[in-house]
Amino acid sequence: MVDVAHNPPTPTNPEQTGAANGTTAALAGTAFRTASDTWASGRTRTLDWRARQLEGVEQLVTECEDELVAAMSADFGKPRVEAWLADLLPVANEARHARRSLRWWTRPRWTWPGMVNLPGSAWTVAEPLGTVLVISPWNYPVNLALTPVVAAVAAGNAVVLKPSELTPATSAALAQLVPRYLDPDGVVVVEGNADTASALLEQPFDHIFFTGSPTVGRVVMAAAAKHLASVTLELGGKSPVIVTADADVPVAARRIAWGKLLNAGQTCIAPDYVLADRAVADRLLEALPGALARMEGADPSATRTRIVNGRHLERLAGLLEHSGGRLVTGGGVDPQRGWIEPTVVADPDPESALMQEEIFGPVLPVLRVDGLDDAIRFVNARPKPLALYLFSGSREAERRVLAETTAGGTCLNHVLYQFVAPGLPFGGVGNSGTGAYHGRRGFEELSHRKPVVRRSVRVDPPFGYPPYDAWKEKLIRRLL
């Protein structure tokens, strides 16, 4: 996710910033103490509390759909169906799945104790981490705020949630609605800007869950290190699409266009660029403009999401201006409406900013490659992406891409859908993040899996204790 996705929290220094003193620091401290006191009381550990919070999240996004959709529309013009489909429905499904699975997830897991512990038994129990800070981004301001909360409360943690200031209407809606549906002392919402995020990062949270850019992710990790807090970092990156010579080109064009236009391309796992085999590159470039136009329909104002702010729009325009490629379609920028036309650029300079920065907009570069080997080399020469997509009719191509590339997740012959599979973890690797969540993986991410051994007191063989002689050593070696 690009840096504009969240204003960078800066390390606090009392002599250089007001984030470490005054009302902002006081607000952050109060929020942390409220949540940590609730955690210390023990009530977040009970299955009843967890289930009620999960039910509350589900009710919030269901009963308050109109209010949340209106807030997202006010913030950046997100169409109603898209807002429901991409922001509200996934949260409801995630909360429902966690609530129904809670007893199963929290059961002890038995394991072989090893010869040394016989007679005895061994198991693990999932215990909460404690007090969790969730710093969420603007691009999916409900989904990426509440889905981490689902994982955190399912695991029995108390939470402080900091929504993005770049979507103020949605942030205000969450600040108003969350206390109505969830325990206001167990899930505390704090609004504010980057100074507020910085002040929160000064607090000794047990875990920090951040979604944003790699640049800010490094700041978050450094802040967590001060308190030895664990982290989950969902960071994004340039997610490639490989189109092989035997791909179904019309289907690939349609699905890539859909993934690129969703939320105006402001999606951390959006197709960022395409590596098309020369045998099909021209056909793909011919098919993409029509696919993009059909997605927008006759009235783009009814289907387009705005670019979040003028700075981001200017950045996209600059990427296009210096791409070094051929404009196939689009390219128009409307600052008044906050729009940039769906755009395809053929053969951009691989060293241009368009091919170095995460685009985070409806701009799609298409590069020709000399087969699958060339595509794999191109991907592996760059930082590990959050997602990788392959369109191919060959199982051998699938096998090679899965075996020879690394990405946070992979989707074959479509885009984005790996995000919504309830049994799959979602997360990055390397530059695209650390840790994962969704479903059971989210519960495990926000839990500590504590090992336990129970030994019998009825059997206590003397050879296990010193002083050791040759006979004891021989017996121990034979038994163990």
213 phi and psi, to 5 degrees? -95, 160
DSSP secondary structure code for residue 344 in this structure:
E
CA 397, CA 393: separation in Å to the nearest integer? 8
CA 243, CA 239: separation in Å to the nearest integer? 13
Contact in structure between 406 and 412 (CB atoms under 8 Å): no
CA 307, CA 263: separation in Å to the nearest integer? 9
CA 412, CA 414: separation in Å to the nearest integer? 6
Give 147's contacts (C-beta < 8 A, 6+ positions apart).
90, 91, 94, 437, 438, 442
**Residue 396 is among the residues annotated as catalytic for this protein:** no
Alpha helices in 331-434 (DSSP H): 353-356, 372-380, 395-404
474 phi and psi, to 5 degrees? -65, -40
Catalytic residue among 58, 94, 202, 234: 234
Task: Tell which phi-psi region holds residue 124, choosing left (phi > 0), alpha (psi between -120 and 50) or beta.
Answer: beta
Q: List, as one string, the DSSP characters of 209-273.
A: EEES-HHHHHHHHHHHHHTT-EEEEE-----EEEE-TTS-HHHHHHHHHHHHHGGGG--TTS--E
CA distances from 254 to 168, 241, 284, 342, 414 (A): 33, 13, 10, 13, 10
347 phi and psi, to 5 degrees? 50, 55
**Residue 64 is among the residues annotated as catalytic for this protein:** no
Catalytic residue among 268, 358, 411, 445: 268
**H-helix or E-strand containing 275?**
strand 273-277
3-state secondary structure of 33: helix
CA 73, CA 51: separation in Å to the nearest integer? 31
- Catalytic residue numbers? 234, 268
